Structure 1
Amino acid sequence: MIVLDINKDIIGTQKEVHAEDGQWVSRRMLLKGDNMGFSFHETIIKANTKTHIHYQNHLEAVYCVAGNGKIEDLKTGKVHEIYDGVMYALNEHDDHNLYGGTEDMRLICVFNPPIKGTENHDENGVYPLED
């Protein structure tokens, strides 16, 4: 059994990863090494920011539990509002922009395959595939 307290076990440790440009912070609670078959994160998207993301090696499901923002599908140009209670899934490795809204957005995220834990987006918005 794995039991974690985000305030005691994640925040301020190597499991709290910050975007290089400061637009998000990812608190990585379950990782590849936990052998669950997925990774589980809390991500804070800062208000009034834009992040390009294109997970070519991972699928991701995201559930918003606080704040607001938008997701823009770069293939179709369609923009979806995100707010408390909205879930989106990047089931086709969707290339997208994620925008922080008028307040920080708190997201609960699941990745498959799981990430190792230290990943940050490369210049194309991709997390590398870890062996």
Structure 2
Amino acid sequence: MIVRDLNECEQTERKVVSPDGKWQSVRMLLKGDNMGYSFHITTIFAGQECQFHYQNHFESVFCMEGEGEIESREDGKVYPIKPGTLYNLNEHDRHTLRAFSELKLACVFNPPVTGQEVHNAEGAYELLD
């Protein structure tokens, strides 16, 4: 059994802040935990717009706090995000995430990340061993 506390994880290397300061991610479950996925609590700071394209991962995201929107860069559709919204990037979707207020998101990645990934120029995480 693996039990971790968010507040404790925030005080370790499991907390990763983006180089551009737009988001932070606390990676509570990682590849090394051998669960087959990783689990993160991610904060997108108010007023930020992020371009992502997870070419190597699938992601499910559940909004716990805040308001924003996600825009598909494939077809231009825009979906509101508020507490209780779940969105799933099941086709390696290119997307833009906008935070109108601070977004607190629970995220699951498959395959799991190792822990220190940040987005590359394409907005993706590289596959790391």
TM-score (norm 2): 0.98
User: Are 1:111 and 2:114 an aligned pair?
Assistant: no
Distance 1:66 1:7 in 2: 17
Distance 2:118 2:68 in 1: 21
Distance 2:78 2:18 in 1: 23
1:32-111 matches, within 5 Å, as 32-101=31-100, 103-111=101-109
Distance 2:18 2:69 in 1: 18
Q: Which portions of structure 1, spanning 4 or more consecutive aligned residues, are displaced by more than 4 angstroms?
A: none
User: Are 1:16 and 2:12 an aligned pair?
Assistant: no
Distance 2:115 2:67 in 1: 26
User: Are 1:7 and 2:7 an aligned pair?
Assistant: yes
The DSSP-based 3-state class of the residue aligned with 2:32 is helix
The DSSP-based 3-state class of the residue aligned with 1:120 is coil
Give the length in aligned residue pairs: 129
Identical residues among aligned pairs (%):
51
Gaps of 5+ in 2: none
Deviation at 1:130, TM superposition (A): 1.8
What residue number does 1:124 align with? 122
What residue number does 1:28 align with? 27
Deviation at 1:20, TM superposition (A): 0.9
Distance 1:69 1:20 in 2: 21
TM-score (norm 1): 0.96
User: Which string of whole-angstrom CA distances, capped at 9 and with x for unpartnered residues, describes residues 86-122 of structure 1?
Assistant: 0000000000011111x20100000000000100001
Gaps of 5+ in 1: none
Distance 1:98 1:2 in 2: 31
Over aligned residues, Cα RMSD in angstroms?
A: 0.7
